[in-house]
Amino acid sequence: MSQGKETKILILSLAITGAIVGAGGWWAYNSGLVGGNRNVPIASNAEAIKTRLSFGDRLLVSDTASSQKQAGIQALAAGNYAEATTSLEASLQAAQNDPETLIYLNNAKIGNAKAYMLAVSVPIGSNIAAAKEILRGVAQAQNEANQMDGINGIGLKIAIANDDNNPETAREIAGQLVDNPDILGVIGHFGSDTTLAAAPIYQERGLPAISPTSTSVRLSGVGDYIFRSVPSDRLTGSALVRYQLDRLQRQKTAIFYNSQSNYSQSLKEVVSTELLTLGGEVVAEFDLSGNFNANHALGEAKNKGAEVLAILANTETLDAGLQVVVANGRSLPVLAGDSAYTAKTLQIGGQNAVGTIVAVPWHILGNPDAEFPKTASRLWGGEVNWRTAMAYDATRAFIAALQENPTRQGVQQALSDGNFRARGASQEIRFLPSGDRSQTVRLVRIEAGNRTSFGYEFVPLR
């Protein structure tokens, strides 16, 4: 793919749209369902939910609906696997960076042969860019495994679900997935809200799930079938605070967050606690939801002595957070969570965002010589982001666990084993007893550069 198309991937979906993980207060409602309640309620809209699931027999990503792709899906649904393979290969040649097509192509090549199956649940209807980023990581790992004779000689199939990043929909999808005995693991969900909503069902019914993007600390230890391949907000918040105190040598912070977002609340709590513990101070807090005025809030923050601005917005309130960045005009240093790692931040923030520090779990420039980014570039024709890397790691973890014991309980036991190790995008994959990923966080800074069409880019701190 040309440099222009690489840039387009970076902007529309790339490493960037990343941080958008979580929202809401669903855990307070659902927490009682974990750990012993045998009557987990599952919504009953089964037929409608089935239209959100595809094993290759249904088009879910409609913005890449070429005639070849549609023909391939129809052939796959009819069991004409050779015809499906031919059509899907033609579609992939025309649209190299379409992960749904690559997943269905791998499924078609397996056909009726014995296979292990995983499901991935993504927000296709509400955040198509993020959905594709996650699907690219899953597709890449599936493709690699099947090219290497599968898992102990058995192919890997992937089912795709569209949960729209909606907690109730996620619960209904989880209900469908746990009822399908062929599905041995779930990669998902996207936001902390959706993962927290679905987790009790997976836990109660014994289906392992690994979220590649949910970072709320409330996910830690919710059940021994629930894991994540992304570091929790605890590590992200700590990294931001230590940068503030050690590198910036500033103690007083004003926090901007969304009180309606689980992710945003989680990160705020970590930053506040870490600051208090290490001698810093939160001088003001501003809720980005509702009737928010950036100029008024910024003026109040400065009047209270703020030396640093922490923009801990989620996806829904990122625009409001960026209004603060623009109004600030680089007068105070800005720190941000991974939801700010988006093309929108570069476009809207522009010169005003230069110097902003963002915490992410992975960056393509962190280890450009690693095999994962090189393979991804060849496969998709351009760069990929941290969300793709974490989805790849989640799938790689499942593949390693399936090699040991291809049952739901066997996968759970393998992932929970203190000696479990799997090769990831850049770091070894292993899980703590809480289900959290044991991995470091990387800080990146917005600088002027030519890797995007906006003239600004995210660059790892040196």
Cα gap 374→364, rounded to integer Å = 10
Q: Express each pLDDT in 238-268 by its tens digit.
A: 999 999 999 999 999 999 999 999 999 999 9
Cα gap 427→331, rounded to integer Å = 36
Percent residues over pLDDT 70 in the chain: 90
Residue 189, preceding bond cis, omega within 30 degrees?
Answer: yes
Cα gap 359→340, rounded to integer Å = 9
- How far apart, in Å, are the Cα atoms of 200 and each of 26, 40, 183, 362, 375? 12, 7, 17, 29, 36
CA end-to-end span of the chain:
29
Return the bridge partners of 448, or none: 456
203 contacts: CB under 8 Å, gap ≥ 6: 34, 35, 222, 223, 224, 225, 226
Q: Express each pLDDT in 412-421 by its tens digit.
A: 999 999 999 9
Side-chain half-sphere of 79: how many Cα atoms within 13 Å? 2
pLDDT at position 1, please?
41
Cα gap 394→119, rounded to integer Å = 11
pLDDT at position 28, please?
28
- How far apart, in Å, are the Cα atoms of 95 and each of 65, 73, 98, 339? 10, 15, 6, 28
Question: What H or E segment, with its residue span, contains residue 442?
Answer: strand 442-448
Cα gap 147→281, rounded to integer Å = 53
DSSP state letter for 316: G
* More confident site: 357 or 29: 357
Q: Where in the chain is the domain with CATH 3.40.50.2300?
A: 3-230+370-416, 233-360+442-460
pLDDT at position 190, please?
95
Q: Express each pLDDT in 45-88 by its tens digit.
A: 778 898 999 999 999 998 888 999 999 999 999 999 999 999 99
pLDDT at position 40, please?
41
Tokens of 411: 């996968």
Q: Express each pLDDT in 118-137 by its tens digit.
A: 999 999 999 998 999 999 99
CATH superfamily of 3-230+370-416: Response regulator (3.40.50.2300)
Q: Express each pLDDT in 366-379 by its tens digit.
A: 988 899 999 999 99
- Give the pairing of strands 53-54 and 155-162: antiparallel
Is domain 233-360+442-460 classified as CATH 3.40.1190.10? no
Model confidence at 390, in pLDDT bands (50, 70, 90)? very high
Residues 268-290, mean pLDDT to the nearest whole number: 97
Question: CA-based diameter of the chain, in Å?
Answer: 69
Q: Express each pLDDT in 56-65 by its tens digit.
A: 999 999 888 8
Statement: residue 38 has pLDDT above 60: no
Residues 312-319, mean pLDDT to the nearest whole number: 93
Residues 140-155, mean pLDDT to the nearest whole number: 97
Question: What H or E segment, with its residue span, contains residue 119?
Answer: strand 115-122
List the one residue out of 340, 254, 357 whose CA is nearest residue 299: 254
pLDDT at position 196, please?
96
Model confidence at 15, in pLDDT bands (50, 70, 90)? very low
